[in-house]
Amino acid sequence: MNSELTAPKKLTKSAFSVCVYCGSRPGNTPEFAAVARHVGTWIGAHGGQLVYGGGRNGLMGIMADAALAAGARVIGVIPKALVEKEWAHTGCTELLIVENMHERKRIMAERADAFLALPGGIGTLEEFFEVWTWRQLGYHDKPVGLLNMSGYFDSLLVFLHSAVEADFMNPWQIDLIRIGSDAELLLEALVEAAGMTAATARFDQI
């Protein structure tokens, strides 16, 4: 059973909702933090809602703080076992503490119109691959994106294409994900593919 650590603070309906997977660590260069901040700001500036893993450490916290500062509704979903490890972000508009990872991922998927993976570790990859697999199996038809900033996912993409060459995957499976290196363009494409419309940005610079 879900328990809400914080009650919803905003009741206005968001123009769209994006679930973002990213690292609970900041990475080893300022570029990672910058792109997480940019994504959070873009979502808020365009009237969107951010759904994410509910932590306040690493890229997760940076992105959530930026989204909140830009006026976004931020939904965090975190398992009890990770509340202390990932330091649950109590500043979220709505923070759901759930029993396990399966419940976490289900709720995140239900609350989102589209999915985006930023740089991260094994948890980010696991969540990204699962939601991609769900789309392949027809469990949902929501767009899935991979932000390949600074070539972070280059090696992964090479491996995926090698899986196609080895006949363990088909090209259409890779075509189910949108891959880009520009955060704004990729977010715009995902929102459009979800059939949503991003509001006009509220800031001159995002």
Report the CATH number that the domain containing residue 51 is assigned in CATH. Answer: 3.40.50.450
Element housing 95 (H / E): strand 94-98
Task: Domain of residue 61: give its range.
Answer: 3-7+15-193
Residue 201 lies in a domain: no
Angle at 103 between CA 32 and CA 132, to 5 degrees: 55
Q: What does the pLDDT profile of the chain (206 residues) look like in tens digits? A: 344 444 334 446 899 999 999 999 999 999 999 999 999 999 999 999 999 999 999 999 999 999 999 999 999 999 998 887 768 999 999 999 999 999 999 999 999 999 999 999 999 999 999 999 999 999 999 999 999 999 999 999 999 999 999 999 999 999 999 999 999 999 999 999 999 888 877 655 55
Measured at the CA of 148, the angle between CA 142 and CA 149, to 5 degrees, comes to 130
Q: How many domains does the chain have?
A: 1
Look at residue 65 and tell me if it is in a domain: yes
Q: Tell me how far apart the 2 most distant CA atoms of the chain are, in Å.
A: 50
The tokens describing 78, both together, are 């975190």
